[in-house]
């Protein structure tokens, strides 16, 4: 495959690009990474594969149709994987417009460029072409403690500007398949965690604040439940959907790990206690501080990934315990990466919110 990955310098995108390039099966003939390099995009995330002759980085916006069209033609792209998105809920509450611009208008323009490119292909190449859109479980809204998990048939009910913008982009992708025949696929994932996560997110925020002796902020009572998915398992699912997924279908990707936020924070503290004992003794859990809840905070997300398991044979490789241990170890060993991206892109004084 000649693959255009959008947002490939972000958290999930960079893990996906790395997985493609390090895959012993060498399924990717070329990987073109188009990234606008907003605050969460970091080329250093891919420093270990930057010298690979199959890898091309282009700084640019998915909303720039002429640029996208040129890349599709120049590199003979047969696969598009769209990670590019504004994704932080708190930021969408503060300022919704950038989310509409990137997630809705940007996706529309990317689809337009892909459709034109696809129309110009031979019949055989048209058949092989794929456009995969990476989305979120937040489009489905929230669940009560006893409600069944989200399936692909769950009606959309987004509760934040971020979720609403992603729901709109999902609808656009679906419409381009049904109206124009563009061979699209969509994946809706649960909350990801793992290496290269931007430091404002829950896992790295807790790890880094703890190591610096800062408060560990937890919204409300901390009983918001999320289904945690290790990022490398998510990337394997995306690659599998690309190879074997049915055109026009949506596949939910879940970690099968529902955990309350407060439980996650305490587990991280426990792992840090054993790996980097707190100076002066005591547990890092003593730093936990409950703060005012976020407006409209969804109480529970849970993904039913039966369809992905049944049709494509996917299952997560990591348990929550093994994935969390790998994540904590990575951040402890990569403090320099964390310090550099934080200093360059984000004021430390604002590291106090998370999804």
Q: Map out the domains of the chain as residue ranges.
A: 2-199+230-255+299-316
pLDDT digits 0-9 by tens, 232-291? 999 999 999 999 999 999 999 999 999 999 999 999 999 999 999 999 899 999 999 999
Q: Catalytic site residues?
A: 137-138, 162
235 and 81 in contact (C-beta within 8 Å)? no
Report residues of the chain scoring pLDDT below 70.
344-355
Residue 265 and residue 216 in contact, taking contact as beta carbons nearer than 8 Å: yes
Query: How far apart are the C-alpha atoms of 272 and 266, rounded to whole Å?
Result: 10
CATH architecture of 2-199+230-255+299-316: 3-Layer(aba) Sandwich (3.40)
Q: Which residues pair with 178 in a beta bridge?
A: none
Question: Using CA atoms, how far apart are residues 314 and 130, in angstroms rounded to an integer?
Answer: 19
List pLDDT tens digits, range 302-343: 999 999 999 999 999 999 999 999 999 999 999 888 887 777
For residue 274, with 0-12 CB atoms within 10 Å meaning exposed, 13-18 middle and 19 or more buried, which class applies? exposed
Cβ pair 162, 102 in contact under 8 A: no
What is the C-alpha separation between 28 and 54, in angstroms, rounded?
Answer: 8
Q: What pLDDT shows up at residue 351?
A: 41
Whole-angstrom Cα distance, residue 253 to residue 188?
6
Q: What is the pLDDT of residue 345?
A: 57
Beta bridge partners of 227: 258
**Structure pTM?**
0.93
Residues near 211 by Cβ (< 8 Å), separated by ≥ 6?
Answer: 272, 276, 332, 335
| Alpha carbons 111 and 176: distance in angstroms, whole number | 8
Cα–Cα distance between 21 and 23 in angstroms, integer? 6
Nearest-angstrom CA–CA distance, 78 and 4: 8
Q: Give the strand pairing for 130-136 and 192-193.
A: unpaired
CB–CB of 9/41 below 8 Å?
Answer: yes
What pLDDT shows up at residue 87?
A: 79
């Amino acid at each position: 495959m000649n693959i255009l990955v959008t947002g490939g310098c972000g958290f999930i995108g960079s893990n996906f690009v790395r997985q493609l390039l390090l895959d012993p099966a060498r399924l990717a003939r070329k990987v073109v990474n188009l990234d606008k390099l907003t605050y969460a995009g970091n080329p250093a995330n891919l420093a270990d594969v930057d010298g690979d002759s199959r890898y091309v980085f282009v700084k640019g916006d998915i909303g720039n149709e002429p640029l996208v069209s040129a890349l599709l033609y120049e590199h003979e792209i047969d696969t598009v994987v769209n990670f590019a998105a504004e994704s932080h809920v708190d930021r969408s509450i503060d300022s919704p417009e950038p989310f509409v611009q990137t997630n809705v208008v940007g996706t529309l323009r990317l689809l337009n460029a892909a459709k034109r490119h696809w129309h110009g292909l031979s019949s055989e190449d048209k058949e092989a072409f794929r456009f995969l859109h990476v989305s979120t479980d937040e489009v489905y809204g929230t669940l009560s403690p006893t409600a069944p998990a989200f399936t692909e048939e769950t009606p959309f009910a987004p509760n934040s500007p971020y979720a609403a913008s992603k729901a709109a982009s999902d609808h656009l992708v679906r419409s381009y398949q049904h109206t124009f025949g563009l061979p699209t696929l969509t994946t809706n994932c649960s909350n990801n965690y793992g290496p290269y996560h931007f430091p404002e997110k829950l896992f790295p925020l807790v790890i880094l604040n703890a190591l610096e002796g800062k408060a560990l902020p937890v919204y409300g009572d901390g009983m918001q439940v999320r289904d945690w998915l290790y990022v490398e398992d998510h990337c394997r699912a995306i690659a599998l959907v690309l190879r074997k997924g049915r055109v026009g279908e949506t596949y939910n990707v879940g970690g099968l790990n529902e955990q309350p936020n407060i439980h996650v924070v305490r587990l991280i503290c426990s792992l840090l206690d054993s790996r980097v004992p707190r100076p002066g003794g005591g547990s890092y859990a003593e730093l936990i501080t409950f703060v005012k809840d976020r407006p409209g905070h969804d109480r529970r997300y849970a993904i039913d990934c039966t369809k992905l398991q049944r049709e494509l044979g996917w299952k997560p490789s990591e348990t929550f315990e093994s994935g969390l241990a790998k994540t904590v170890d990575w951040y402890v060993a990569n403090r320099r990466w964390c310090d550099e991206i934080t200093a360059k892109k984000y004021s430390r004084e604002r590291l106090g919110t998370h999804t």
